Amino acid sequence: MNYNLKSIEAIMPPPHFHMVGDGFRVHNFFPSQPGIGLTGMSPFFLLDYGSKWLVPPSNTPRGVGVHPHRGFETVTIAYHGKVAHHDSAGNSGVIGEGDVQWMTAGAGVLHKEYHEKEFSKKGGIFQMAQIWVNLPAKYKMTPVKYQAIENKDMTKVPLDDKESVIEIIAGVYDGKKGPAFTFSPVSLFNAKLISGAKACFTFKKSFNTGMLVIEGEIKVNNSKIAPENNFILFGHNEEDVVLEASENSVVLILSGEPINEPIASSGPFVMNTEAEIKQAYEDYNNGKFGYLAD
Ligand code: MN
Q: Examine residue 151 and state whether it is found in any structural domain, yes or no.
A: yes
pLDDT for the residue numbered 235 = 98
Question: What is the C-alpha to C-alpha distance for residues 157 and 258, in angstroms, rounded to an integer?
Answer: 26
pLDDT for the residue numbered 26 = 98
Question: What is the C-alpha to C-alpha distance for residues 148 and 135, in angstroms, rounded to an integer?
Answer: 19
**pLDDT single digits (tens) 105-153:** 999 999 999 999 999 999 999 999 999 999 999 999 999 999 999 999 9
Domain of residue 121, CATH code: 2.60.120.10
State the distance from the centre of ligand 1 to the C-alpha of 238, rounded, in angstroms: 35
Query: What pairs with residue 47 in β-bridges?
Result: 30, 131
φ, ψ (nearest 5 deg) of residue 246: -75, -20
Q: Examine residue 2 and state whether it is found in any structural domain, yes or no.
A: no
Q: Examine residue 143 and state whether it is found in any structural domain, yes or no.
A: yes
Mean residue pLDDT of the chain comes to 97
State the distance from the centre of ligand 1 to the C-alpha of 59, rounded, in angstroms: 22
Cα dihedral 97, 102, 107, 113, rounded to 10, equals: 10
pTM above 0.95, yes or no: yes
State the distance from the centre of ligand 1 to the C-alpha of 192, rounded, in angstroms: 27
**pLDDT single digits (tens) 226-269:** 999 999 999 999 999 999 999 999 999 999 999 999 999 999 99
β 109-115/124-134 pair status: unpaired
pLDDT for the residue numbered 2 = 83
Q: Examine residue 242 and state whether it is found in any structural domain, yes or no.
A: yes
**pLDDT single digits (tens) 69-106:** 999 999 999 999 999 999 998 999 999 999 999 999 99
Q: Examine residue 3 and state whether it is found in any structural domain, yes or no.
A: no
pLDDT for the residue numbered 4 = 97
State the distance from the centre of ligand 1 to the C-alpha of 209, rounded, in angstroms: 24
State the average pLDDT over residues 36-50.
98
State the distance from the centre of ligand 1 to the C-alpha of 67, rounded, in angstroms: 6
Q: How confident is the model at residue 294 (pLDDT cuts 50, 70, 90)?
A: confident
Q: Examine residue 47 and state whether it is found in any structural domain, yes or no.
A: yes
pLDDT at 1 over 80: no
Q: Examine residue 290 and state whether it is found in any structural domain, yes or no.
A: no
pLDDT > 90 in the chain, percent: 97
Work out how many domains the chain is built from and give that number: 1
State the distance from the centre of ligand 1 to the C-alpha of 68, rounded, in angstroms: 7
Strands (E), 105-230: 109-115, 124-134, 145-149, 155-158, 165-170, 172-173, 176-177, 186-193, 198-202, 208-215, 218-220, 224-226
Q: What angle do CA 188, 195, 223 make, to 5 degrees?
A: 75
Q: For residue 83, what are the domain limits?
A: 8-280
Residue 17 CA neighbour count, 13 Å, CB half = 16
State the distance from the centre of ligand 1 to the C-alpha of 284, rounded, in angstroms: 14
Q: Examine residue 161 and state whether it is found in any structural domain, yes or no.
A: yes
**pLDDT single digits (tens) 200-223:** 999 999 999 999 999 999 999 999
